Every structure is written in structure tokens, then in C-alpha cells.
Amino acid sequence: MEELSALYAKEILDGVVDPFEIEFEDFEKKYRKKEIIGFEDVGDDIQKVQNYLLLEDEESLLEDLKGAWRSQDYLDIAESMLFDELDVDMAKILVNKALSLANESEDYVNIAELFIEEFGDKEKAKQAYEKGCEVAQKTEDLTFVADSVVDEDYLGDKEWAKEIYQDALSLATSMYDFVYVARSVATPEYLDDKESAKEILDATKAMVNEEEFDQVLRLGLSYALYTEDSESAKEYIVKALNIAQNFNEYFTVLKNIAQGDISKDFFKKIMKITLLSMDEQTQKNLVADLVDEYLKDEKLAAFLRKNSAEEVIKLYSKKDLEDLKLEYASKILSGEIDPKQLSFKEYAKA
């Protein structure tokens, strides 16, 4: 107790403690708390933050600081301090500590965004973005950096973002990587460039395994969502139909058509094929829900819910001219028919 009293007196003499504001009992409480928390050597800057939090009685943040070892840990504490309107300079010390520990693109992007959001420091943010590019190992890493760089809420630098997206493509190892970049390039909040997105997807065609249902369908949906090329979207949707083997896969195609808003008439054609593949009564209700949501056709949805699967299948089992056209086009795409050898009129007659 005598040693603590002497320390109290010394800090009064040094001007660290104002005895009018901090009585000995309060000083003792804070000192014991510091002793219990037991910080190891954390460096002068972090020591400043520790002492500040002790003075502010921020016990939970002190505990967090004690356990911090990753970049994101320090960033989380800094964000909490800023949210609680604590000292901005103390929080910035922690953000710089996070920067020194970062080793992944995501860490650097999070740090860059905080530098801009809370401190308005775009130069420091740019340094973090550059480090994020340096450590990137995958397409998604660089795409994540570019998305933030181009965002008007952060740097808003389209030219630099274009370069980073190109670098992201150079790391691509699958068609999904190309689709990932195309999505960002087409996103209105980023580059809003559907023409460039189409160029990326056109290059993706060579990487697609056309026997893989998920890949073919994903490319078709990507054309629908990220480009103005509805014909390519339909082409790959039809290719997916040729691979589909059961109701679930046909229904997945139908959902993708609705999601990509490819064409309501096209949806209706594929809806017939989907309904004809049913093998359970409840499956027609899934289609009915989609008809309600996408076509906004309450009567058709009610019909599907009211009638049995057998009755619905019977109604849609008759092929009309549009069905034949779709079937003919599908068989051309799958290589079953050579249109030079068999015209549509001949196919329809058969």
C-alpha cells in the first residue's frame, strides 16, 4: 500500500494525476485493474492506448486489447472506440497497428476503408490498397480490392480499378473466376461496364465444361445478369436444359430464367418442360410460387395448385409449335441434328 501511495504522490507531482479529480481510492482501483489485466510489453503506442482505456474505465476494451494478436482484432477494437466516440487519435494508433500486422487482401481493404471513413486519409488508404494487391493470391482477392478502390464511397478510382480487375483475370484458374470479375465489372456501383463484362464472359466460353450442368447454367445466368446479350443467355440456358435429368435441375433452370429476367415467354416454354418432369405432387406448388412471383399470373398459379400433378402433366404433354421450335433448337445445340440435313419443317412433320 505504501508503494502505491508513493506512486500516487509521484504522479501528482509529475502532473499525471489531478488529486481533485482522482482520489487515492480511484487511483488504487485503476492500478489494481491494470495489474490484474497483466499486459506484457506491447510497445509505447499501444501502451498509450492501454493507459487511456484504463483512465476511461473501458474494461471490456482493455480485455479485448489484451487478447489482440491479429490485424482484425486491433481493427475491431478501433472501430468500437470510434463507435463509442472515444479518442480518435488513440483509435488511429490501433488502425496503424492493424496495418502493420495485416497479411491478407481482405485485411488491407478493411483498413483502407476505415482510414477513409473515419479519418478522411486517402493517401494512407492507397498504401493499404497497394499492399492488398501485393499479397493477393487469388482472383477473388484482387477483385475484392478493386471493388473497394472503384467505390465512390472510398477512392472512386475507376482507372486504377480497371488495372486491378485485369490483374485479377490473370490469376483466374476456372470459369467461376471469370464470372466473378465480370459481375464486378458490370455492377452499377463499380465500373457499370456491361460491354467489358461480355468480353470477359465470351473469353470464359473456352473454359466451360459443357457437360457440367452447373457451369453451363451459371454462364447463361451471368450473360443475363451482367450483359445485354440475351441470345447467349438463352443459348447456355438451353444447353443446361439438355443436360438436366430431373425435376430439381429443370426447376433450377426455371429459377435462373426468372432471376435473370431473360424473357417471360421463354420462362413459359421452360415451365412446360419443368412441369412434365414432375414426379411428386408438391413439386407443382414450387412452380406455382415462381409463376406468382415472376409472371404475376394468379390464375395460372391457382390452376397449378388446384389440379393434381397428373392433370397438369396431361394438359402440358401436348406439344405446340413453340415447344417444337425449342426442341429443334436444343437438338441442334447438342449436336443431335444438323440443320443442313434436317429442316424444321421436316422435323415438325416427323
- Residue 97 exposure: Cα atoms within 13 Å on the Cβ side: 25
User: What's the rounded Cα separation, in Å, for the pair 80 and 247?
Assistant: 49
pLDDT of 145 reads 97
User: What's the rounded Cα separation, in Å, for the pair 51 and 309?
Assistant: 72
pLDDT of 337 reads 82
pLDDT of 56 reads 81
pTM score, two decimals?
0.74
pLDDT of 51 reads 82
The DSSP code sequence of 150-205 is H-TTTT--HHHHHHHHHHHHHT--SHHHHHHHHHHHH-TTTT--HHHHHHHHHHHG
Closest by CA to 34, choosing from 12, 8, 66, 5, is 66
**Grid coordinates belonging to 50:** 492501454
pLDDT of 271 reads 86
Q: How many CB atoms lie within 10 A of CB 335?
A: 8
User: What's the rounded Cα separation, in Å, for the pair 98 and 83?
Assistant: 17
**Grid coordinates belonging to 4:** 502505491
pLDDT of 344 reads 67
Decide if 208 contacts 215 (C-beta within 8 A): yes
pLDDT of 36 reads 43
pLDDT per position in the chain (350 positions), as tens? 556 677 778 778 877 778 787 777 777 766 665 554 445 544 568 888 888 888 888 888 988 888 888 999 999 999 999 999 999 999 999 999 999 999 999 999 999 999 999 999 999 999 999 999 999 999 999 999 999 999 999 999 999 999 999 999 999 999 999 999 999 999 999 999 999 999 999 999 999 998 999 999 999 999 999 999 999 998 999 899 888 889 999 899 999 999 998 888 888 888 888 888 888 888 889 999 999 999 898 988 888 888 888 877 777 665 555 666 777 777 777 778 877 787 766 765 55
Helical (H) or strand (E) element with 73: helix 71-83
pLDDT of 43 reads 55
